[in-house]
């Protein structure tokens, strides 16, 4: 990209770097990046990688806020780098760090093994209440039934809500907001019948009761999912399961 496109504007991008083979701990490194008003923070990082420092590592893919790869702390807030624009930092500087509360693999790349293991554990697919044969036709659903879970299905696994959740930072065993949003997405689906199985996780010591209703997870979600609502609705459900399990012995955790 030639310099003439950039109207002479320059922003200072400070990146928290960590190279495990040589650094004992992360450190800030600043880059002077020429930019134009249509450039995202992600494009700023790509400029650094292409022109200034090829060793900088970060994840990205779609550049249009749907793949969920480029989540990072931008001036202390969990944001998607592709959805945040350099023009919105009028002080002429912006600080970029790896997503909070996750171990740093390298530079802006976090380790998400824990999230993936939890994702698998909640069985994030529809487990039908009743199996239907092809001859019996589709599983029908009314618009009202769709409305109950639809927003939760917008999750793109970007992990911003985890970086917004101090309870996950304090106790990484906590299943956390994003997983609970997905768990609720399936539990609340009228076609699904596995809520009792998933209750083993929601009602466990790693489950919903680690949440103290900070609510910031729902503020930072780039897809307007309300994970705090998923977690807290399931507190009521887990409490009901806890107190009613004697009356209704099947289902739920041991």
Per CB under 8 A, residues contacting another protein are: 18, 20-21, 25-26, 76-77, 100-101, 103-105, 111, 114, 117-118, 121, 144, 147-148, 166, 169-170, 173, 175, 200-201, 203-207, 209, 212-216, 218-219, 226, 228-229, 232-233, 235-236, 238-239, 242-243, 252-254
Q: How far is the CB of 148 from another protein (least distance, A)?
A: 7
Q: How far is the CB of 254 from another protein (least distance, A)?
A: 6
Q: Which is nearer to another protein, 8 or 249 (CB)?
A: 249
Report the nearest approach of another protein to the CB of residue 6 (Å): 32
Quick one: tokens of 219?
A: 């503020």
Cα–Cα distance measured from residue 154 to residue 152, given in angstroms and rounded to the nearest whole number: 5
DSSP-assigned letters across all residues of 74-108: ETTEEEEGGGSBGGG-TTSEEEEEPPTTS-EEETT
Cα dihedral: 122, 184, 156, 14 (round 10): -90
CB atoms within 10 A of CB 226: 20
- Measured from the CB atom, the residue of 70 and 99 that comes closer to another protein is 99
Shortest distance, position 193 Cβ to another protein, whole Å: 19
Instruction: Output 193 or 240, the one with its CB closest to another protein.
Output: 240
Which residue number, 35 or 186, has a Cβ lying nearer to another protein? 186
Spatial separation of the C-alpha atoms in residues 216 and 225, rounded to whole Å: 12
Q: Which residues contact 70 (CB under 8 A, 6 or more apart)?
A: 42, 58, 59, 60, 61, 80, 81, 82
3-state secondary structure of 109: strand
Least distance CB 39 / another protein (angstroms): 26
Residue 24 vs 130, nearer CB to another protein: 24
């Amino acid at each position: 990209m030639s310099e003439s496109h950039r109207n002479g504007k320059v922003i200072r991008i400070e990146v928290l770097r960590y190279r495990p083979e040589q650094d004992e701990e992360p450190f800030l490194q600043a880059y002077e990046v020429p930019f134009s008003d249509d450039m995202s923070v992600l494009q700023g990082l790509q400029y650094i990688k292409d022109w200034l420092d090829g060793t900088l590592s970060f994840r990205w893919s779609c550049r249009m806020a749907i793949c969920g790869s480029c989540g990072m702390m931008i001036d202390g807030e969990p944001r998607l780098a592709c959805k945040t624009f350099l023009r919105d930092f009028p002080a002429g500087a912006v600080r970029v760090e790896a997503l909070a509360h996750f171990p740093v693999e390298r530079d802006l790349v976090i380790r998400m093994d824990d999230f993936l293991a939890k994702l698998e554990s909640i069985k994030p697919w529809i487990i039908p209440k009743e199996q239907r044969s092809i001859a019996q036709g589709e599983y029908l659903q009314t618009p009202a039934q769709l409305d109950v879970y639809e927003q939760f299905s917008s999750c793109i696994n970007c992990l911003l809500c985890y970086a917004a959740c101090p309870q996950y930072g304090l106790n990484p065993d906590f299943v956390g907001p994003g997983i609970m949003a997905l768990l609720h997405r399936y539990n609340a689906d009228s076609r699904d019948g596995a809520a009792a199985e998933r209750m083993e996780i929601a009602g466990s010591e790693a489950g919903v009761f680690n949440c103290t209703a900070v609510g910031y997870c729902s503020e930072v979600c780039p897809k307007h999912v309300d994970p705090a609502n998923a977690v807290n609705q399931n507190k009521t459900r887990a409490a009901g399961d806890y107190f009613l399990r004697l009356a209704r012995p099947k289902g739920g955790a041991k």
